[in-house]
Amino acid sequence: MRENVVIRTVTRLAVPFILVFGLYIILHGSSRAGGGFQGGVIVASAFILIGIAFGLDETQRRIREKVRTIASILGISIFIGIGLLCILFGANFLGYAAIPLPLDTPWVRGLMMEAVEIGIGITVMAVMTSIFYDVATKEEGE
Amino acid sequence: MATIHSIVPACAVLVPLAAAVLILLSRRHEKIREGWTILAAAANFLIVLSLLPQVLAGDRVACTLIELLPGLDMAFRVDAFGMIFALVASGLWIVTSIYSIGYMRALREHALTRYFFSFAVAIAAALGIAFSANLVTMFIFYEILTISTYPLVAHTETEEARKAGRKYLAYLITAGVFFLFSVILTYFLTGTTDFQPGGILAGTGPVILQQILFVTFLIGFAKAAWMPLHGWLPSAMVAPAPVSALLHAVAVVKAGVFGIVRVVCYVYGIELTAEIGMGTLLAVIAGATIITGSLLALQQDNLKQRLAYSTVSQLSYILLGVALLTPMGITGAMLHVPFHAFMKITLFFCAGALIVAAGVEYVSDMKGIGRRMPVTMLMFSIGAIGICSLPPVCGIISKWYLVLGAMQAHNLAAFLVLITSSVLNILYFFPIIHTAFFEEPESGREGVREAPLSMLVPLAITAVGSVLLFLAPDVAFLRLVEVAIGELTGVLP
Amino acid sequence: MISEHLPILAVILPLVGALTVLLAGWAERRYCYPVAVAVLTIQFGLSLAILREVLRGGTIHYYLGDWAPPWGIELVVDHLSAYVLVILVFLSLLSCIYAKRSIGGEIDPQKTVAFYVMFLLLVVGVCGITVTGDIFNLYVFLEISSIAAYTLVASGREKKGLLAGFNYLIMGTISACFILIGIGHLYVVTGTLNMADLARLLPPLYDSTIIHVAFIFFIVGLSIKTALFPLHTWLPDAYSHAPSAISVLISTVISKMGIYATIRILFSVFTVGFIVDHLPILEFFAWVAAIAVIAGSVIAIAQTDLKRMLAYSSVSQMGYIMLGIGIANSVAMTGGVLHILNHALIKGCLFMVAGAIIYRVGLRKIDDFKGLAGRMPYTCAAFFIAAISMIGLPPTVGFMSKWYLTLGAIEAGEWFFVVVILASTLLNAIYFWRVLEYAYFRHADAETPELESRVPVSMLLPMLVLAAGCVVFFFAVSIPLGIIDAAVADLLGGA
Amino acid sequence: MKRWAALLTVIVVGALLLWAEGDMPAFGDPDAPAHAHVAPRYIEEGAEETGAANLVSAILADFRSFDTLGEITVIFTAGVSVILLLRRGERL
Amino acid sequence: MIEDLVVAFLTRYNYYMAVIIMLIGLYAMIAKSNLIKKVIGLNIFQTAIYLFYISIADVEGGTAPILVPGTDVVYVNPLPHVLILTAIVVGVSITAVAYALAIRIYQSYGTIEEDELLELGSERR
């Protein structure tokens, strides 16, 4: 299967579209159907597709692993960070309205929700990919 | 009757505990470890003694340690009756310590740190029981006593010792559960667990509940070794002799009878006990135990076993005295606590000396041993005479009061039991003395000498003590008993 | 400023801590441990601060995102929450300290980082459960701690741990699904997820079958989590095959968390009006608990493996706590809630001892413990004290909880339960004394292998602290009692 | 044996659920209590208050955002779980 | 009588369906010996619960809760959707962990049949 040209070509073509679609879903969470989870999974599926089509190349994985770990931490950190920021500005945890932006409250809220959704998306993407790679990797000597 | 607040009672409990810790810390130095034991014993006795004048004056010395639960303090209150027990336990600890050192060295026993540690904790617990102001405090020390004496029973670590230890625990922890239940039920019924001379239970709960509670209390005090809950005591005789001496003639079993007397006189009150008919129950149990215990003692060949059954029987003297519910009977009972302690500890010391010096454990092996170990056997005879209630040893005094009590209560059965028991006592003790002094010694005993001085002196002290108590009973104990009786009957001296 | 945000910080801190441990471990594996300990230490301080706040100002309500309940999620910290939180965080801290050396032989060194991250995530879940006031939020945190627990049980080198973890996962998920079904049914009839709101809306609906069914699903689900007999089947394997530090953690923290959730659902959602006055369900509960007490102890007596024996003993002890709650008068509940503290101290200590014995001499069968006391005096002393407390003898805190439970049962006139509570004392004594007898009163036949020269301080210290706690809280029982009284009054307040 | 135990469990659980389902409000009933208490505010004011037209997102990321934080913690936990269980021979 | 039942069924059929699917999943979780099948059962069980929740949310004639211009648009209840989104993520996580465990079990024991695993376990005792 490694040598299957069709799959590799299709993957090469499809991945950019999947990624764009995933990002669209993440970013449109607040106004249309969509959200961080759904988008994150879609983005992850692109990476998984790459893994299936091109094999779990060792070197490539090493880089990705670091990125994934950082990404999963980053996603949660965005979420927590926004929450703590709200505390800093005198509201309760995740009380978006307190964040002093020169906008109306619903807009601030909407913006913060968007940021949170991005955080969710990043973490979901990273973890899903990570789980796939870990499950798919064979143990040495097997 | 004033109540004096003082931390001295707490000190009496804490000194042995501190000694226990010090013993543990100095476990690598034999001499220091034993030094702590003796030092603590002496200090402890002095502390207890310092309380004597106040108690004799009719005052109580009270000390609240800590409030455990709302309305439930862990508290000490020294009254005359508690003082009796405390004096006996702490006083005899000194002699037993000296004796222990001699005994253990002679037999080259192992695990001495554990031994002395447990011993000190046990004494602390005994004093705690003596001084406790309420049932909860008493229960706490009662359980500590159970746990701390287990290592002493199972000391030799043989299969037999472990089995005896298991039996010991099985009886006493089960009893502890009953005791706990009784304490909680008392608390539930009365809202307090303090000991009061007139009792606290009167007028609470239905009679049937009070009767059940009485029975569970009795079971809870299985340490008193009344039949049929005496089984642990004879098997616990596998313990080293000093343990048998102090704990199974003095601290543990006396804690049991002490508890029963406390419950009858200070929780139920004499009147209530009589009213719900529980005096009769206790008397029947005690009477049966006295006779059966003596009969069983007759059949034992192992000397310590015989002494154990004798203990079973003698303890019930105390119970019988209380069960008569008359001032004279209770006087006898309370007096018998120290007197029996002095006599029985002498006997056990002698038994230990026989083991150490001659390796003799059975009565049938004692032929002519009195010629080789005259001092030991002389002291043994004194103790035996005392148990048989013959002069000039203190046993007769308490017996005298008991008999008077039986008469005062118009209780013919009790009277007969007491008399019969004396006869039985003679029957099981005099053969021993006869064998020891008048039968021809077996060959191979030529080299047998008296036990080391560190054992001989203590047993001489206790034997002489029991004679002295006969000659001058009113130095301490009789006066204490008078104070206690006065308190119980509302007539103060 | 911080003081008003304490409840949320109790959840966020360990979460941030978990991320920090991951980063720290990435830089250098040995940084994980100090970071994790530091985080838990701060968390412990935080939980104490929460307790102080609650004692000073009563129940704390915290509206997340400034949305008033029932629209937003609310954190509610009352006396019970604060009490349980302090206990759980303290035990987590101690078992984390303990973990350092004990996992050395039990877990691949490469896994250390993930192990500590997981450890802190478990704490996140547990803390979340104790502070939340929303049933769905409770479910989410329940799952965090459960997933962490499944994995940690299976994280050791021991193969059986994997199976134990898998079975635990299956049982745990059934339990979680049941709880989810229960939440769904409650939502159907009330339209809310906030606990206080539910308690307000439910009374008119008490006759609805939906409520009854929801209740049953909650109770069965939570009973699986707390391993109430006969739903305890996952517990013995999970406790005995997990790495020692994890045995400590799940036997104390996870089980208490289940108990806490049960109390919350019973008393804060359904309230006394339903469980006592409307249905005789607590009566039934108490009977099941009584059977658990006896059955757990009896099975424990039959065990030859120390950790397994302790595991079955846990089944019995959970029954003990549940019995106190089932009798449902204030005295018995005080006993039950006090026993949460007691059991955390005892079981933590005992599992630490079991782990130390495995670490030092590699033994887990009780028959092999001959003469152990001479070689591991401190460990055996800790075991002795904890055993005494388990049996319920003074001067240990076990006596206090037994006192209250018995008094409560007498007050309720439930003589059978009195017998059960007291009989369990004897059963406990039987199986603990066997161990003590082997350790103290038998000589070793031959030299047993010596794996390590001595028990490291990081393992010894936590168990001695717990053993000391057993004694200290006997004398200082008024401290927890002050909190418990208020907690019980809160819980029974609706009656 | 196991089969029978499973069957028994299933029957009991099934009976309970079916018993309850009979009392459920009819499917799609707009007057069901579930729609009457908390939900109306989300629908009526949620969009204005949060600035999100997608009400699910509004609740997910704002009203009940703490749940969502818990949720990504769950998934993060799962990720670390798999690392802990499966990954070998590497750091982390 | 029968008519009542039929009406009851017809007005609540998706609850009943959800229950039936739940039971299938639950049965598989308990009775199946293969660990993977157990996990599949677990997934079925959870999916049925999602179905149950989504059924709760439904309002007759309602549309997805994404605001559209217009005044008399009926929206379904958004809250259960949110809850179930969370529950799905939890389900996915649990499945991942379960498979990871199953893989490790297979690596260690060479089988994922529970009966065989239990035998292997008892031999080692």
Name the pLDDT band for C132 (thresholds 50, 70, 90): very high
Say which of C108, C141, C150 has its CB closest to residue D70: C141
Mean of the pLDDT values across residues C256-260? 92
Enumerate neighbours of B (3 or more CB pairs within 8 A): C
Q: What is the pLDDT of residue C315?
A: 92
Complete DSSP assignment for A28-95: TTTTSS--HHHHHHHHHHHHHHHHHHH---HHHHHHHHHHHHHHHHHHHHHHHHHHHHHHHTTS-TT-
Which residue, among B170, B107, B99, B191, has the nearest Cα to B461 in the 3D structure?
A: B99
pLDDT at site E121: 66
What the block records as the tokens of B400 is: 């005298």
For the stretch E66-124, pLDDT in tens is: 887 777 788 888 899 999 999 999 999 999 999 999 999 998 888 888 888 877 766 54
Summarised one tens digit per residue, pLDDT across range A109-140 is 888 888 899 999 999 999 998 888 888 776 55
Q: What is the mean pLDDT of chain B?
A: 86
Q: What residues of chain E lie within 8 A of the CB of D3, using their CB?
A: 31
Q: How far is CA B330 from the centre of its chain?
A: 16
| Distance (Å) of CA E32 to CA D1, D33, E49 | 12, 39, 20
Distance (Å, whole) CA C163 – CA C333:
36
Interchain CB distance below 8 Å, E94 and C169: yes
pLDDT at C153: 93
CB contact (8 A) between residue A33 and residue E66 = yes
CA distance A35 to chain D (A): 7
pLDDT at residue E110, as a whole number: 86
- Residues of chain C with C-beta less than 8 angstroms from the C-beta of E104: 154, 162
Q: With bands split at pLDDT 50, 70 and 90, how would you rate the model's confidence at A11?
A: confident
Check CB contact of E100 with chain A, cutoff 8 Å: yes
Taking CB atoms and an 8 Å cutoff, what residues of chain E touch A31? Answer: 66
Nearest-by-Cβ selection for D84 from C73, C111, C216:
C111
Question: Looking at chain C, which residue has its C-alpha nearest residue A77?
Answer: C16
**Chains interfacing with D (3 or more CB pairs < 8 Å):** A, C, E
Q: What is the spatial distance between Cα C250 and Cα C244, in angstroms, rounded to a whole number? A: 10
Counted across chains B and C, CB pairs separated by less than 8 A come out at: 72
Q: Name residue B74's beta-bridge partners.
A: B66
- Predicted confidence at residue C27, as pLDDT, reads 84
What's residue C85's pLDDT? 95
Question: What are phi and psi for residue C64, nearest 5 degrees?
Answer: -75, 135
Distance between A5 CA and the closest CA of chain D, angstroms: 30
Question: Around Cβ E120, how many Cβ atoms within 10 Å?
Answer: 17
Mean per-residue pLDDT over chain C, rounded: 89
Residues in B touching C477 (Cβ below 8 Å): 68-69
Residue, of D59 and C44, whose pLDDT is higher: C44
Q: Which of C418, C429, C441 sits opposite B181 (nearest CB)?
A: C418
Tell me which of B282-296, B438-452, C80-94, E37-51 is least confident.
B438-452
The answer to whether residues C292 and C318 touch, using CB atoms and an 8 Å cutoff, is yes
* Residues of chain E contacting D47 with CB distance shorter than 8 Å: 67
Predicted confidence at residue A58, as pLDDT, reads 53
Establish, for the pair of chains A and C, how many residue pairs have beta carbons separated by less than 8 Å: 39
Residue A102 has pLDDT above 80, yes or no: yes
Smallest CA-to-CA distance from B149 within B126, B177, B129, B131 is with: B126
Q: Is the pLDDT of residue C18 over 80?
A: yes
Q: What amino acid occupies position A42?
A: I
Those residues whose C-beta lies under 8 Å from the C-beta of residue B420, and which sit 6 or more positions away, are B291
Separation in Å, CA of A24 to nearest CA in chain C: 26
- Give CA–CA dist A37/A25, Å, rounded: 9
Distance from CA of D67 to the nearest CA of A (A): 11
Measuring CA to CA, how many Å separate C357 from each of C372, C445, C452? 9, 17, 10
Distance, in angstroms, between C321 CA and closest chain D CA? Answer: 26
Read off the pLDDT of residues B361-397 as tens digits, 9 standing for 90 and up: 888 888 888 888 888 888 999 999 888 888 888 888 8
Please tell me the number of Cα atoms within 13 Å of A73 on its side-chain side. Answer: 16
Q: For position C11, what pLDDT does the model report? A: 92
Instruction: Please work out, in degrees rounded to the nearest 5, the angle formed at the alpha carbon of residue C84 by the alpha carbons of C78 and C89.
Output: 125
Q: Tell me if A14 sits within 8 A of A42, measured CB to CB.
A: no
How many residues in total does chain E contain? 125
| Topology of domain E2-59+74-124, CATH | Helix Hairpins (1.10.287)
Instruction: Give yes or no for A81 touching C (CB within 8 A).
Output: no
Half-sphere exposure of B421 (CA within 13 A, CB side): 32
Residue with tokens 């003796």: B38
Determine whether the interchain pair D53/A127 forms a contact, defined as Cβ–Cβ distance below 8 Å: no
Residue B493: its pLDDT value, please? 38
In this predicted model, what pLDDT tens digit does every residue of B270-298 receive, in sequence order?
A: 888 888 888 889 999 999 999 999 999 88
d(C-alpha C204, C-alpha E36), whole Å: 45
Q: What is the pLDDT of residue A142?
A: 41
CB-based contact (8 Å) between A39 and chain D?
Answer: no
* Whole-number percent of chain B with pLDDT over 90: 14
- pTM above 0.90? yes
Give me the residue spans of the domains in chain E: 2-59+74-124
**Type and span of the H or E element at D49:** helix D39-50
| C140 interface with E at CB cutoff 8 Å | yes
The residue-averaged pLDDT of B397-407 equals: 90
How are beta strands B60-69 and B3-5 bridged, if at all?
Answer: parallel
Distance CA B459, CA B463 (A): 6
Tell if the CB–CB gap between B69 and C403 is shorter than 8 Å.
Answer: yes
Write down the pLDDT at residue B393.
Answer: 86
Classified as helix, coil or strand, D28 is coil
Subunits with 3+ Cβ pairs within 8 Å of C are A, B, D, E
Residue-level pLDDT at B180: 92
CB contact under 8 A, A124 and D75: yes
Query: What six digits make up the tokens of C264?
Result: 């919350």
Under a CB-based contact definition with an 8 Å cutoff, are residues B343 and B386 in contact?
A: yes
- Check CB contact of A70 with chain D, cutoff 8 Å: no
Which residues of chain D from 63 to 82 reach within 8 Å of chain A, CB to CB?
65-66, 68-69, 71-73, 75-76, 78-79, 82
Closest residue in D to C30 (Cα) is D91
* Partner-chain residue, chosen from C5, C15, C64, that has the shortest CB–CB distance to A80: C15
Q: How far apart are CA C393 and CA C419, in angstroms?
A: 17
The reported pLDDT for the residue numbered B492 is: 43
Å from C258 to nearest chain A CA?
A: 27
Which chains touch E (3+ CB pairs under 8 A)? A, C, D
Would the CB atoms of A110 and D60 count as touching at under 8 Å? no
Find out whether C325 and C263 touch, Cβ atoms under 8 Å: yes
**Is D67 at the interface with chain E, CB within 8 A?**
yes
The total domain count for chain C is: 1
In sequence order, what DSSP letters do the residues of A81-104 get, joined into one string? HHHHHHHHTTS-TT-GGGS--SS-
Inter-chain touch D70–C144, beta carbons under 8 Å: yes
Q: Are C44 and C34 in contact (CB under 8 A)?
A: no
Mean residue pLDDT across chain E: 86
Is C96 part of any domain? no
C67-115 tens-digit pLDDT: 888 888 999 999 999 999 999 999 999 999 999 888 887 888 888 889 9
Paired residues of B362 in beta bridges: B302
Which residue in E49, E97, E109 is closest to C159 by CB distance?
E109
d(CA A77, CA A72): 9
| pLDDT (0 to 100) of residue C39 | 95
- Which residue on chain A is closest to C18 by alpha carbon? A73
Contact criterion met (CB below 8 Å) for A123 and A71: yes
- In 3D space, the residue among D46, C15, D62 whose CA is nearest the CA of residue A94 turns out to be D62
- Look at chain A and report how many structural domains it folds into: 1
Amino acid identity, residue E36?
A: I
Quick check: C337 and C324 in contact, CB under 8 A?
yes
Band (pLDDT 50/70/90 cuts) for residue B53 is: confident
The answer, for E3 touching chain D at a CB cutoff of 8 Å, is no
Q: Which domain holds residue A107?
A: 5-141
pLDDT in tens, C367-385: 888 888 888 888 999 999 9
C–B contact: 3+ Cβ pairs < 8 A:
yes
* Angstroms from A43 CA to nearest CA on chain D: 16
**Contacts across the A-E interface (CB distance below 8 Å):** 18
Mean pLDDT for C44-66 is 91
CB–CB contact C26 D91 (8 Å): yes
What domain range is C377 assigned to? Answer: 281-296+322-495
Those residues with Cβ within 8 angstroms of residue B486's Cβ, 6 or more apart along the chain or in another chain = B58, B492, B493
> What's the CA gap between E22 and E18, in Å, rounded?
6
The pair of three-digit structure tokens given for residue B210, joined into one six-digit string: 């009070």
Assign D55 a pLDDT band (cuts: 50, 70, 90): confident
Smallest CA-to-CA distance from A54 within A18, A20, A4 is with A4
Q: Give the model's pLDDT for residue C456.
A: 87
What integer is the mean pLDDT of C159-167? 90
Question: Could you report the per-residue pLDDT of C311-322, keeping only the tens digit for each?
Answer: 999 999 999 899
CB of A111 closer than 8 Å to CB of A101: yes
B72 phi/psi in degrees, rounded to 5: -125, 105
Q: What percent of chain C has pLDDT over 70?
A: 98
- Nearby residues of C163 by Cβ (< 8 Å), 6 or more positions away: C237, C241, E105, E117, E121
Residue of D nearest to E93 (CA): D78
Q: pLDDT per residue over B133-174, tens digit each?
A: 889 999 999 999 998 888 888 888 888 888 888 999 899 999
Measure the CA angle with vertex C272, ends C269 and C278; round to 5°: 105
pLDDT of residue E102: 92
